[in-house]
C-alpha cells in the first residue's frame, strides 16, 4: 500500500489545481485520472467546441462579406479536416501543458487508471492500493443517452464524439434544445449542413425566461435551422442514405444524429458505497457548504457535485477548498452567484435570477429591457440581434439578475457580475461612465429604465 497526504481522483478543472497547491505546501499528492488531464473543458468541452465555434463564425462572416463591401468570389468552402485539426491542436496544447506542469512537480504522482474506493481512506487503481487522510473527487460528467426507440440501431454522435468529425454532415438532427445542442446546431449550419433541432419541452433553453428563449429561437431560425419543440415521441431507424428520425409531428431524413439531452456524473463506478459516500437520486455527490461529503475528509468538486457543471464553477470549487483547507479562510459554496453563457452567435451572458425566479421569490422587483439595435457598437458591426434585460430589487436596490443576448454579451455581462459580487446597488452602477463606442455603454441607460412590475 502506498501512502500519500492527499489523493485527488479526476483531472478536471478543480482537482489538478488543488493538487498543485497542496504540493506547494509540501504535501505528497497522488492525482488519478482515468483518461486525459484537463477534464471535459480541455478535451471535449469548452476548448475544442469554442474553437469550432470560431471556425463556424469565420465561415459566417466570409459569407456575409458583401454586406460590408467585401466581395469574395465563388462559394465559401469548408475544409472539415482542417477545422477538426485546429480544434485538436488547441486541446493537445492545453493537455500537454498540464502534463509538463505536473511532471516538474516534486511531490506529485500522476497515475492513469480507474480508481475505486476500498474504504473511506483507501482506493485501488491498476492493481495497486493507495491511502491518504484526505481524498478529493473531481470525476466530472458524461453525456446522457436516453432510452428512445431505435437508438441502439443507429450510430449516433455525442458532444464528445462529434468534435472528432472531419466530414460535413448532409443533415444533422440535434436531439435536445439546450445549451450544448444549440451551439452545435448553429455551428454545423454555418459549416453548411442542414440542421434540425428536436426538443421535448415547449421551448429552447428551458431554464431561460420565455422572451430569451423566443429570441434564441429567432436567431437560429434566421440562419435556416429547423426547430421542433413540444415533441413527445422520437424514434430512429436506419435508412438507405442515413437515419430516419420520426417524431409525432415530423419525419426527418438525417445523415447524422447528435444526442444532446444532458449529462450525468461519473460516480456510478467509483465504489462510493464502500466509502459510505452519499449521492442524490441523479448520482450527484451530496456536499455541504464547504464541499465536504457526508464522510469525514472526503470532498467532491466540480461537475460531480451538481453545483454548477461549468468550468468556472469547478475552478471556483478548487478556490473554495484551497482557501478553507490551506489558507485558513472561511469560503462557502452558497456565496457564489450563478453565472454562465450560451455560445451561440450572438452569445447569451447570464447572471443571477431569471425574471421568473425573481417573481417567485416574493420580492418587489423592477425590470428593464433594451434591444441591441439601440447599441452603437452593434449597429456599427451590423449585429443587432437580441436584447438586454436586468432585474433589480425595488427595496434594496440590488441587482438580482441580468441577461444579455447580443454581440459580446458573454463579456459585457461581467460588469453586472462584478457589481453583484461587490454588492453594488444599481443607482451607483447607473452613474458609471462607460467607454464609447462599446456594448457596455448601454448598461447605465438600461438601469435607468428600471420600472416596478
Q: Do domains 151-261 and 339-452 have the same CATH topology?
A: no
Instruction: Give the pLDDT confidence score for residue 1 in this predicted structure.
Output: 92
Instruction: Give the pLDDT confidence score for residue 131 in this predicted structure.
Output: 98
Is residue 172 a contact partner of residue 188, using CB atoms and an 8 Å limit?
Answer: yes
Return the CATH class of domain 151-261.
alpha beta
Return the residue matching grid coordinates 431505435: 150
Architecture of domain 2-141+264-335: 3-Layer(bba) Sandwich (3.50)
Which residue, 343, 325, 333, 345, is CA-closest to 190?
345
The span from the CA of 117 to the CA of 119, in Å, is 5
Q: Which fold is adopted by the domain 339-452? A: Enolase-like; domain 1 (3.30.390)
pTM: 0.96
The span from the CA of 194 to the CA of 172, in Å, is 6
453 residues of the chain, pLDDT tens digit each: 999 999 999 999 999 999 999 999 999 999 999 999 999 999 999 999 999 999 999 999 999 999 999 999 999 999 999 999 999 999 999 999 999 999 999 999 999 999 999 999 999 999 999 999 999 999 999 999 999 999 999 999 999 999 999 999 999 999 999 999 999 999 999 999 999 999 999 999 999 999 999 999 999 999 999 999 999 999 999 999 999 999 998 999 999 999 999 999 999 999 999 999 999 999 999 999 999 999 999 999 999 999 988 999 999 999 999 999 999 999 999 999 999 999 999 999 999 999 999 999 999 999 999 999 999 999 999 999 999 999 999 999 999 999 999 999 999 999 999 999 999 999 999 999 999 999 999 999 999 999 999
Boundaries of every domain in the chain: 2-141+264-335, 151-261, 339-452
- Determine the distance from the C-alpha atom of residue 65 to the mean position of all C-alpha atoms in its chain, rounded to a whole number: 31
Return the residue matching grid coordinates 453525456: 143
Is residue 450 a contact partner of residue 390, using CB atoms and an 8 Å limit?
Answer: yes
Is residue 8 a contact partner of residue 19, using CB atoms and an 8 Å limit?
Answer: yes
Q: DSSP states of 232-246 as a string?
A: --EEEEEETTEEEEE
Instruction: Give the pLDDT confidence score for residue 249 in this predicted structure.
Output: 87
The span from the CA of 363 to the CA of 231, in Å, is 35
The span from the CA of 14 to the CA of 310, in Å, is 11
User: Helices in 237-290 by DSSP H: which ranges?
Assistant: 272-275
Hey, is 75 helix, strand or coil? coil
- Determine the distance from the C-alpha atom of residue 384 to the mean position of all C-alpha atoms in its chain, rounded to a whole number: 25
Instruction: Give the pLDDT confidence score for residue 126 in this predicted structure.
Output: 97
The span from the CA of 380 to the CA of 397, in Å, is 33
Q: What angle do CA 26, 30, 32 make, to 5 degrees?
A: 150
Interhelix angle 179-191/210-222, nearest 10 degrees: 20
The span from the CA of 122 to the CA of 447, in Å, is 54
What residues are labeled active site?
436
The span from the CA of 391 to the CA of 397, in Å, is 10
Task: Find the farthest-apart pair of alpha carbons in the chain and give their distance in angstroms, rounded.
Answer: 70
Give pLDDT tens digits for 153-164: 999 999 999 999
Q: Could you tell me the three cell numbers for 115?
A: 480508481
Q: How many other CB atoms are found less than 10 A from the CB of residue 129?
A: 11
The region that residue 14 occupies, defined by phi over 0 for left and psi between -120 and 50 for alpha, beta otherwise, is alpha
Amino acid at each position: 500500500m502506498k501512502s500519500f497526504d492527499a489523493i485527488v481522483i479526476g483531472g478536471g478543472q478543480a482537482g489538478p489545481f488543488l493538487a498543485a497547491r497542496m504540493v506547494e505546501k509540501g504535501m505528497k499528492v497522488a492525482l488519478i485520472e482515468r483518461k486525459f488531464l484537463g477534464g471535459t473543458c480541455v478535451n471535449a468541452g469548452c476548448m475544442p467546441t469554442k474553437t469550432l465555434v470560431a471556425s463556424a463564425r469565420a465561415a459566417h462572416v466570409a459569407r456575409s462579406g458583401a454586406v460590408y463591401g467585401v466581395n469574395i468570389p465563388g462559394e465559401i468552402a469548408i475544409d472539415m479536416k482542417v477545422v477538426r485539426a485546429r480544434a485538436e491542436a488547441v486541446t493537445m496544447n492545453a493537455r500537454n501543458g498540464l502534463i509538463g506542469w505536473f511532471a516538474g512537480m516534486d511531490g506529485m504522482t500522476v497515475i492513469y487508471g480507474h480508481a475505486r474506493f476500498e474504504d473511506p481512506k483507501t482506493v485501488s487503481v491498476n492493481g495497486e492500493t493507495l491511502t491518504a487522510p484526505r481524498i478529493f473527487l473531481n470525476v466530472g460528467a458524461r453525456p446522457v443517452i436516453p432510452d428512445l426507440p431505435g437508438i441502439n440501431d443507429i450510430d449516433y454522435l455525442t458532444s464528445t464524439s462529434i468534435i472528432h468529425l472531419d466530414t460535413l454532415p448532409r443533415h444533422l438532427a440535434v436531439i435536445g434544445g439546450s445549451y450544448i445542442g444549440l451551439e452545435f446546431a448553429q455551428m454545423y449550419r454555418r459549416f453548411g449542413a442542414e440542421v434540425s433541432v428536436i426538443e421535448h419541452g415547449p421551448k429552447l433553453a428551458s431554464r431561460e425566461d420565455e422572451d430569451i428563449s423566443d429570441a434564441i429561437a429567432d436567431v437560429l431560425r434566421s440562419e435556416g435551422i429547423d426547430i421542433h419543440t413540444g415533441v413527445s415521441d422520437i424514434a430512429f431507424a436506419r435508412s438507405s442514405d442515413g437515419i430516419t428520425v420520426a417524431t409525432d409531428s415530423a419525419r426527418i431524413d438525417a445523415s447524422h444524429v447528435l444526442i444532446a439531452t444532458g449529462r450525468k456524473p461519473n460516480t456510478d463506478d467509483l465504489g462510493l458505497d464502500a466509502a459510505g459516500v452519499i449521492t442524490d437520486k441523479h448520482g450527484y455527490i451530496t456536499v455541504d457548504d464547504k464541499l465536504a461529503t457526508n464522510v469525514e475528509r472526503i470532498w467532491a468538486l466540480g461537475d460531480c457535485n451538481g453545483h454548477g457543471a461549468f468550468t468556472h464553477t469547478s475552478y471556483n470549487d478548487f478556490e473554495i477548498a484551497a482557501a478553507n483547507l490551506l489558507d485558513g479562510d472561511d469560503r462557502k459554496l452558497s456565496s457564489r452567484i450563478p453565472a454562465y453563457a450560451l455560445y451561440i452567435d450572438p452569445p447569451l451572458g447570464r447572471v443571477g435570477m431569471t425574471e421568473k425566479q425573481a417573481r417567485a421569490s416574493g420580492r418587489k422587483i423592477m425590470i428593464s429591457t433594451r434591444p441591441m439595435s439601440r447599441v452603437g457598437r452593434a449597429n456599427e458591426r451590423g449585429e443587432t440581434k437580441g436584447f438586454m434585460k436586468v432585474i433589480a430589487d425595488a427595496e434594496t436596490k440590488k441587482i438580482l439578475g441580468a441577461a444579455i443576448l447580443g454581440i459580446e454579451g458573454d463579456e459585457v455581462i461581467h460588469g453586472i457580475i462584478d457589481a453583484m459580487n461587490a454588492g453594488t446597488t444599481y443607482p451607483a452602477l447607473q452613474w458609471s461612465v462607460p467607454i464609447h463606442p462599446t456594448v457596455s455603454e448601454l448598461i447605465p441607460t438600461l438601469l435607468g429604465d428600471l420600472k416596478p412590475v
